[in-house]
Amino acid sequence: MPYLDFLMTYSSRFIDGTLITLGQFGLAALVAIVAALISGLMKMAHSKTMRAIAIIYIEIFRGTSLLVQLYWFYFVLPLFGFTLEKFTVGFLTVGLCYGAYGAELVRGAIQSVPRGQWEAALALNMSPAKRMQRIILPQALVAILPPWGNLMIEILKGTALVALISVADLMFETRQVNNNTYLSAQAFGTALIIYYIFARFMVTPIMRWLERVMARKIGRT
Amino acid sequence: MKHDKRHDLSQYPLRLEGDNVPMVRFQNVTKRYGSLTVLDGLNLDVAEGEMVTIIGPSGSGKTTVLRMLMTLETIDSGVIYVDGEPLTHMEKNGRLVRANAAHLRLIRSKIGMCFQHFNLFPHMTALGNCIEGPMQVLGLSKQEAEERALELLDLVGMADKRDQHPSRLSGGQQQRVAIARALAMRPKVMLFDEVTSALDPEVISEVTGVIRGLVDQHNLTMLMVTHQIGFAREISDRICLFFDGKIEEQGSPEMLLDNPQNERTQQFLSAVLEAN
Ligand SMILES: Nc1ncnc2c1ncn2[C@@H]1O[C@H](COP(=O)(O)OP(=O)(O)O)[C@@H](O)[C@H]1O
Ligand SMILES: [Mg+2]
């Protein structure tokens, strides 16, 4: 079967899968941002309990494999009476996993803001929350964007694992097509190209654009 | 530290009362970093409206004096009073105890500070820097805050640069914006820590000119650290010379600079004058 015919025949499956993958990616990225921000801030908190919770989260999710985490959330949690939709398990687990990596980036970015900025904000009598929100985080954001771009690509690639808990993402659909047709080169080749296009022509340019916008906002152009 | 637990606060008044309450009082204040005693039993009063300049060799504790007053550093013993109220401590059941965050915020509102390296917020314009505190801390509306900020930017000669980010401003311009930003909080006490030390020589006068203008505002109390002896002589009511965490000698500019009593003062002054 010529490749064009192959594409025409199975395009709807690839499109369906791609949409699911994009959904998984967007939601996982959101979860990762929130988890990284919260745990990164908690890791810098005065309270020992807060720090301990953050460290436990980071250690567990960074120290174990994403695939095991997916299985755990999908197959083991229901045994404790916790059943989640597989789509939800997918993006939640991927997000939490990469959020644990992001926590270190958040902490590093916050610590990269010069001490003098904290001190100037304190001299204006700003509350700790205002100092963080108005002075430190906007500057930390500029520092975190380049490494965060890499993490976003990791998240996109990481979502391929949700196929293994039967979320009908791009990888899942590709495997189905392959099982039906035995056209492995065409099937997996197509998936490869789609993942690459999204990473290279969507995620990276958007992150670069964000970097430029933030750099301009901070007056560093 | 054990020593501080035994430190007896009962000898310090709960607040300063009477006719001549200083705007700032350091009473027997000690500051240590580990085993290094940076300030040793410092006693210093600054009257309302007074301009006091601190000079002294590097490492003698000048910056630390200002930073303790700004509450950027804690103190190990003694009490600092501002406008008659304890700053580092507060009254509880008729006794002084360590100030909590709320008390610090209350008293800190009377103090403003300018830093050697300006520390402007890089993600905000000159105007944005000056309205940030008034809006976020004092709760002014944007319009009120901008009115106040523009008046002050005008005072420091920076009104035309209101929309520039700090990265587009020279050091002298940044420091003038920083002064406007601090003044926008309407402090009673202004602290200047070597605000001209990071500047190119030709722009120093931009900043000293602004400070000179503030001296005429009679209600503003100022505490300034500088190496510019000539400027200090010109505007100070009193100069304190620090040595090893202690005031070695203090007095009017004429007394201290022209007729120093102390040998170490004489040595320091001749070294500084030579360097200039
Ligand atoms: N955060 C700190 N930790 C340890 N030592 C410090 C710290 N800050 C200042 N010091 C020390 O305290 C002494 C006084 O410092 P400082 O007040 O900055 O002096 P000055 O402003 O007169 O040059 C110096 O010996 C300095 O090394
Ligand atoms: Mg200093």
Which of B32, B38, B243 for mutating ligand 1's site (highest number of atoms within 8 Å of CB)? B38
Mean pLDDT over B142-153 rounds to 97
pLDDT band with cut points at 50, 70 and 90 for residue A51: very high
Q: Is residue B204 part of a domain?
A: no
In this predicted structure, the answer to whether residue B218 has a pLDDT above a threshold of 90 is no
Burial grade of B70 (CB within 10 A; 0-12, 13-18, 19 or more): buried
Q: Is residue B144 part of a domain?
A: yes
| Domain assignment of residue B160, given as a range | 113-186
Number of domains comprising chain B: 1
Contacts of A124 in chain B (CB under 8 A): 132-133, 136-137, 181-182, 185
Strands B189-193 and B36-46: unpaired
The CATH number that applies at residue A158 is 1.10.3720.10
Secondary structure (3-state) at A180: helix
pLDDT band with cut points at 50, 70 and 90 for residue A117: very high
The Cα–Cα gap between B90 and A1 comes to 85
How many whole angstroms from B25 Cα to the centroid of ligand 1?
A: 21
The Cα–Cα gap between B272 and B257 comes to 11
Secondary structure (3-state) at B196: coil
Q: Is residue B42 part of a domain?
A: no
Average pLDDT, chain B: 94
Out of A112-116, A194-198, B50-54, B213-217, least confident range: B213-217
Mutate to test the interface with A, among B103, B106, B121 (most CBs of A within 10 A): B121
Measured from the Cα of B39, ligand 1's closest atom is: 14
Write the pLDDT tens digit of every residue in B224-241. Answer: 999 999 999 999 999 999
Q: Is residue A191 part of a domain?
A: no
The Cα–Cα gap between A71 and A165 comes to 7
State what percent of residues in chain B have pLDDT above 90: 88
Q: Is residue B140 part of a domain?
A: yes
Q: Is residue A102 part of a domain?
A: yes
Write the pLDDT tens digit of every residue in B76-89. Answer: 999 999 999 999 99
In this predicted structure, the answer to whether residue B213 has a pLDDT above a threshold of 50 is yes
Task: Please report the pLDDT score of residue B272 as a whole number.
Answer: 85
Number of domains comprising chain A: 1
Cβ B226 under 6 angstroms from ligand 1: no
Cβ atoms of A101 and A107 closer than 8 Å: no
In this predicted structure, the answer to whether residue B63 has a pLDDT above a threshold of 70 is yes
Q: Is residue A164 part of a domain?
A: yes
Write the pLDDT tens digit of every residue in B150-200. Answer: 999 999 999 999 999 999 999 999 999 999 999 999 999 999 999 999 999
Q: Is residue B157 part of a domain?
A: yes
Task: Please report the pLDDT score of residue B273 as a whole number.
Answer: 79
Q: Is residue B160 part of a domain?
A: yes
Mean pLDDT over B21-41 rounds to 96
Write the pLDDT tens digit of every residue in A194-216. Answer: 999 999 999 999 999 999 998 88
Cβ atoms of B94 and A110 closer than 8 Å: no
Q: Is residue B173 part of a domain?
A: yes
Q: Does B73 touch chain A (CB under 8 A)?
A: no
pLDDT band with cut points at 50, 70 and 90 for residue B1: very low
In this predicted structure, the answer to whether residue B17 has a pLDDT above a threshold of 70 is yes
Task: Please report the pLDDT score of residue B6 as a whole number.
Answer: 52
- Please list, in sequence order, all residues whose beta carbon lies within 8 angstroms of the beta carbon of residue B187, skipping any fewer than 6 positions away: B109, B110, B111, B112, B220
Q: Is residue A90 part of a domain?
A: yes
In this predicted structure, the answer to whether residue A36 has a pLDDT above a threshold of 80 is yes
The minimum CA-CA distance between A37 and chain B, rounded to whole Å, is: 20
Write the pLDDT tens digit of every residue in A118-149. Answer: 999 999 999 999 999 999 999 999 999 999 99
Cβ B72 under 6 angstroms from ligand 1: no
pLDDT band with cut points at 50, 70 and 90 for residue A41: very high
| Domain assignment of residue A136, given as a range | 34-170
Ligand nearest to the CA of B60: 1
Write the pLDDT tens digit of every residue in B86-130. Answer: 999 999 999 999 999 999 999 999 999 999 999 999 999 999 999
**pTM of the full structure:** 0.88
Task: Please report the pLDDT score of residue B275 as a whole number.
Answer: 74
State what percent of residues in chain A have pLDDT above 90: 87
Mean pLDDT over A87-112 rounds to 96
